[in-house]
Amino acid sequence: MQRGTHDPSGRTADAPARPASAPTTPPAPAPVPASARSSGSASPASASASVSARARLVLDSLEHLVSGFGTGILALVALLWLAVTALACLVGVGLLLLPSALHAVRAVADRERARLSRWGPEVIGPPPLPSGLRAAVTDRAVRREVAWVAVHGVLGTFLGVVGLTLPLNAAHDLSFPLWWSLVPESAATAAAGWWTVRDWPGALLVLPMGAGWLAVILLGMPALARLQAWPGRRLLRPGAGTDLVLRVAELTATRAAALDAHATELRRIERSLHDGTQNRLVAVTVLIGAARRALARDPADAVAALDRAQDAAEQALAELRAVVRGILPPVLADRSLPDALTALAADCPVPCEIDADVPGRCAASVEATAYFVVAEALTNVARHSGARRAVVTVRRRDDRLCLTVRDDGRGGAREAGGSGGSGGSGGSGLTGIRRRTEAHDGTMELASPTGGPTTLEVTLPCGS
């Protein structure tokens, strides 16, 4: 793993975060030895991070179970309405109630799809209910929704009750020695109610039971949440044909976005060459012509003109190198992505830390996109966020390259159409990041509440 920090001074906050703005490539640090990357024992910081991550996972799972308990109650109500409708069919009035029952099932199923989409991959809903009663009853999506209502109404509600009961049992038994003597003897029992506590040794014996409940929560709560969500992801997802149509539409959109991003990049390069390098070279030509004409009159004037021509040529060369580095920085091609990002952080006016652990090399296009994402994100941080510190984390997880850019600025970042924040006016930089990311079949997530912090997460397939 490679880490790099930089705390520059004497620069303005509006300076660009790209290394292309410097006339020369910043020196890349030497790679960290492998012995420094792996140690025999985990550090206290890593252990604390692991505990914190587990706690967040458990809290998220508890939240999933509670929200699933709510949709489970709604599913029970819809199931009861279906049962009433089925009984009413025996006396001939059930057919009048059936459309309302099917709409109730669809409404509850849509709420579950929205809930599952918030916690994981999006669950796409089916087309609207068929207009005819026979077509609605025979529709495959409707039958799957009815099956889900029956399963989730029972299983989802039960798992929700279990998810709510476990923390209460743990809190009851862990705090039992503090209050057992203040309640009536009939209430002085453990959460499981196996025996009545009458003395302090018995009260202390309840503590291990509380620790056991806590262990069950830490180990089993995520599994309960996954089990509760499984029927919905199994029965409420669209058919394979729907997935294929959506995938084709998504690929068409990302291809168009990639072409737009490519055209935008070409325009940027053309403007840089036309407005910068070309003007410098014209100045060099004019100064050399003036020097030739001055040779016959006053050699001293010729020397001065040649000096100015040399300065203009050096500036043109520096700008040309900057344009080349903006296309593909040499350090990225010659060294590695962590080295290129470290050089990028060295040119950022906001103190920036690079925490990169990327074994091996990814595809050149993927590394170039990752470099572009970090460069654009740090530019936004420097120009709009008012942050005092930024951290860039890069990890390779299986076949995905995961980048996270986090800053402690004012937040409020939005994509194009939003306002303010580290995204800048209109958020065009964030829109460019999304287009480049989706062109590689990657994902981008932005969390930037008002007041900060701002977190940008991008994942890219390593082999595309």
pLDDT at 157 over 90: yes
Provide the percentage of residues in the chain whose pLDDT is more than 70: 79
pLDDT at position 11, please?
A: 37
* Among 351, 368, 115, residue whose Cα is nearest residue 232: 115
What φ, ψ does residue 179 adopt, rounded to 5°?
Answer: -135, 0
pLDDT in tens, 254-311: 676 666 666 766 777 777 777 777 777 888 888 788 888 877 787 777 788 888 888 8
pLDDT at position 32, please?
A: 39
The rounded distance, in Å, linking the Cα atoms of 116 and 121 is 8
pLDDT in tens, 20-41: 333 333 334 334 333 333 334 4
pLDDT at 250 over 50: yes
- The mean of the pLDDT values for the chain is 78
Instruction: Write the CB contacts of 454 (distance below 8 Å, at least 6 apart in sequence).
Output: 381, 385, 387, 406, 407, 409, 411, 413, 421, 422, 446, 447, 448
Distance of CA 405 to the CA centre of its chain: 10
pLDDT at position 229, please?
A: 93
pLDDT in tens, 204-247: 888 888 899 999 999 999 999 999 999 999 999 876 655 566 66
